[in-house]
Structure 1
């Protein structure tokens, strides 16, 4: 954490222009206790919490963001492309544990972005999450982020024994690694949304540099069944994903989400599986990676990215978690130029 960030943590909500003692009390009752949390709030939700208009809520959010810009935490609203390029060169990237997969991602998992992994059961989604819990804690010089990890488990797939095994196989102190992983089991969609809403506090408490949600769609998919509930489900997913986008940018953390798949039986050519959640999750995810089984190995393919080449690589799962195959070949997809 930079000195600038430390100074921002010292600010009180009352320091924001237009917020008095009464409004500050209402914000704290709504779970917003810091300038950073207010800056990432959603205007509609904030208006409901405060019992006021959306315009007033938006003004409070913009005032919090203005304070962060003046403090140097957030960039100015307008910057030049060369400044953005230099900024991106300094972004932290976390190793996945497999050199081939890191090369596919041009260095690893980025901070200030949402990386989505989707695939069928057994394709390696949870294994990647377990491995990232370990690699993210290593110092940046060793391919990590140098911070803790927050993992939200919606499917009951997290196993601390697996993390222990991966840490030991990689020559790390397993007990120290386990202490820096904060686990939260979300039992319904409202619980998940509440956790994400209060994520700023948890990031500070656990000094987290990575947030993992395994999986993002599971609870909403189970609770909102049938076409009659589809619009409500998508609207809530949309709010959830965009909240994660703001958290990733303002807190400079890496956000990993896993996603389930659904089959399209009317597909006669190509792979009939596609990610669940529709365009809402697809548009909000910065990078989208498709995982599939290939014998004893796994294949990762870039499906959507602003700048990554559309290629795929093979990796394996062993006692070290995600690891390279013996040859670790890198393949180019036939549709790379499409």
Structure 2
């Protein structure tokens, strides 16, 4: 679909196409999945014209209609798996972290969330035959957790049967943006879309988008029950835009989430993730990370559309995420 120009869509002229590209609508798929109000505002069009454009884009992109299960199965063959090189962890996720999906990691501080996303920022650059995705990474940092020194240690600690570049080459393919507010964080998804479109046809297309952490700014800026509804609406829109982006570019979305302790729980684990049902429903896979004895970490698959619940253990070492 990337070969089809916006001007090929009925109702889009050169001027409208330019405005749409400036607003981040660079592909037919992005227009086909847009709302009428958003498209009308971005291209300075009337709602009737926007509806006509969206309808034409959906016909060209062949989306919006019903498909058979066989058709979906064929499309699923495009899904790739990003491996962690911890066999137990990869097996828990059916062979690795899926593209075209949002995988959420939640847990207390020190449970290994940022360590895993650093490791995946390295692994995604490896060739597909070595368990990577042969692409580059976008890293939206909300808590100042990204450390280039950690990337260097993990590159030097890679144990794979393929040629590995230098740490400097790996760092060159990780694009970091620091989000200062929740609104800024949401705007960075638009910037991520522009960069992903730029790199689509290069030898290192965007294959991994990290948000570390997803809820930090929302939690700080929307305090109290009175702000719960607008916070959840913004979070829902944020995750919806993130999913559209990774679905369009066949990339992995990996988000970390903070937790809170439920004081009403007297038996069992009182830890629960921030964001409530909005985040729970938007994330395709949910992993709960917790610390264990002797430096071990335990990853528990809490929710998945096709995989059973289970647990896997791993170690966080200087060389990266390793088996126990």
Helix, strand or coil for the counterpart of 2:237?
Answer: helix
Q: CA deviation at 1:45?
A: 3.2
Q: CA deviation at 1:59?
A: 4.2
Helix, strand or coil for the counterpart of 2:288?
Answer: strand
Cα distance change, pair 127–305 in 1 and its aligned pair in 2 (3 A): same
Distance (Å, rounded) in 2 between the aligned partners of 1:147 and 1:192: 23
Helix, strand or coil for the counterpart of 2:193?
Answer: helix
Partner of 1:310 in structure 2? 309
Q: CA deviation at 1:48?
A: 3.6
Cα distance change, pair 230–25 in 1 and its aligned pair in 2 (3 A): same
Distance (Å, rounded) in 2 between the aligned partners of 1:226 and 1:44: 31
Distance (Å, rounded) in 1 between the aligned partners of 2:234 and 2:44: 20
Q: Which moved more, 1:81-90 or 1:170-179?
A: 81-90
Partner of 2:220 in structure 1? 222
Partner of 2:284 in structure 1? 286
Contact 1:97 1:131 in 2 (8 A): no
1:1-338 mapped onto 2 (5 Å cutoff) = 5=2, 7-8=3-4, 11=5, 13-50=6-43, 56-69=49-62, 77-170=65-158, 172-173=164-165, 174-206=167-199, 207-295=205-293, 296-325=295-324
Q: CA deviation at 1:146?
A: 0.8
- TM-score normalized with structure 1 length: 0.86
Task: Could you tell me which runs of 5 or more consecutive residues in structure 2 were left unpaired when the two chains were aligned.
Answer: 200-204
Name the count of aligned residue pairs. 313
Contact 1:37 1:201 in 2 (8 A): no
Q: Find runs of 4+ consecutive structure 1 residues off by over 4 angstroms.
A: 50-56
In the TM superposition, what whole-angstrom CA distance separates every residue of 1:22-54 from its partner, at most 9, and x where no partner exists?
433443453434434434544443344345565
Distance (Å, rounded) in 2 between the aligned partners of 1:54 and 1:108: 43
Cα distance change, pair 77–170 in 1 and its aligned pair in 2 (3 A): same
Distance (Å, rounded) in 2 between the aligned partners of 1:43 and 1:121: 41
Distance (Å, rounded) in 2 between the aligned partners of 1:14 and 1:93: 34
Across the aligned residues of Structure 1 and Structure 2, the Cα RMSD in angstroms comes to 2.1
Contact 2:11 2:49 in 1 (8 A): no
Distance (Å, rounded) in 1 between the aligned partners of 2:58 and 2:251: 17
Distance (Å, rounded) in 2 between the aligned partners of 1:255 and 1:190: 19
